[in-house]
Amino acid sequence: MKHILALHTGGTIAMTADSAGNVAPGAHNALLAQDAVLDGIEVTSEEIFNLPSPHVTPERMLELSRRIRTAEAAGIDGVVVTHGTDTLEETAYFLDLTLDATVPVVVTGAMRSANEVGSDGRYNYLSAIRTAASAGARHKGCLVVMNDEIHTARFVTKTHTTNVATFRTPTFGPIGLVTKTGAVFFQELINQAACPIDHVVDRVFLLKAYAGMDATLLDALPQDTAGLVIEALGAGNLPPATLPGLARLLDRGVPVVLVSRCFNGVAEAVYDYEGGGVNLAKAGVIFCQGLNGQKARIKLIVGLSGGKTGAALAAYVNNAVS
């Protein structure tokens, strides 16, 4: 008998819609009333908090990480986390970075509330439990299970505001599927490494580059800024007018991480012109490969919270090695 711990955090999967179609959290998590009945799997449910996912902070993510560590030490066989979809990918990646769990950790959610026609919450929940109970899910880091697909927390992202098939992994695709008989895996991540932390560094920001951008937003960042992620243009370029502000941040010792704002591909130093990636890399900007802006911010937060600085921080956030 496999024993799975289900940690419920709120979100649409736990909400109901009123007669006007407005979806909101209630006094009770709707999912707690839906007992999971699966052969050979015992599920223990725990409501660790009940929040819409825009209310979830890195501090709450750390609370989840600590609870999962405690559960694994107590002998649990796997963990399922139910979560709102807006920030699900960030929480999942935070868990992926901070846990060195050998047991499966699976995050899931829903695009339709419990009482809506075609609600996907219970189905995704049961699929996540099946995956967490699967021997194949062990040692694969944190996984995201939605709509019959198994994705890595590192690369999955929400791609549609309302579609039940919203979670996709650009460039690489899912690593497995949930079938009628259980979880089936076809790929796995390489270079997996954990960075356990006991606190969360604050004041790490995310900006998106755009045509005609200048240094206004860069200079508006507070003096105690701990780090900055920029979603840059194309392969990794910035408008020339941003460069003075960027230089001022780097001179203050603020780590600046660059990703591409493109949906697919990786950021790399290719272009050798004013504001081009080659010159940005020479100036000390850290290029992060394969992550989107919100994921790169989570990784920078974890790296800084883990005490990484200088070359060690750059190697960690680069994402080529972990």
Looking at residue 288, which CATH number applies to its domain?
3.40.50.40
Tell whether 66 is covered by a domain: yes
Asked whether residue 273 falls in the same domain as residue 208, the answer is yes
**Span between the terminal Cα atoms of the chain, in Å:** 34
Please tell me the predicted confidence (pLDDT) of residue 190. 83
Please tell me the predicted confidence (pLDDT) of residue 24. 67
Please tell me the predicted confidence (pLDDT) of residue 29. 65
Q: CA quadruple 96, 99, 102, 104: dihedral positive or negative?
A: negative
- Phi then psi for residue 252, to 5 deg, are -80, 0
Pairing of strands 78-82, 105-108: parallel
Q: Which of 12, 82, 152, 169 is catalytic?
A: 12
* C-alpha–C-alpha distance, residues 229 and 298, integer Å: 10
Please tell me the predicted confidence (pLDDT) of residue 157. 95
Q: Looking at 153, 185, 217, which one is the last position of a domain? A: 185
Across the chain, which has 322 residues, the per-10-residue mean pLDDT values are 95 72 65 66 94 96 98 97 97 97 95 81 94 95 97 96 93 93 90 91 98 98 98 97 98 98 92 96 95 97 97 89 46
Tell whether 86 is covered by a domain: yes
Task: Give the CATH number for residue 87.
Answer: 3.40.50.1170
Please tell me the predicted confidence (pLDDT) of residue 19. 62
DSSP letters along 29-85, please?
-GGGGS---BTTEEEEEEES----GGG--HHHHHHHHHHHHHHHHTT-SEEEEE--S
Asked whether residue 161 falls in the same domain as residue 63, the answer is yes
CB 25 within 8 A of CB 14: yes
Give me the number of domains the chain comprises: 2
Do you know the residue count of the chain?
322
12: annotated active-site residue: yes
Residue 93 CB partners (closer than 8 Å, separation 6+): 142, 153, 154, 295, 298, 299
* C-alpha–C-alpha distance, residues 195 and 95, integer Å: 10
Asked whether residue 33 falls in the same domain as residue 114, the answer is yes
For residue 312, give its domain range: 204-317
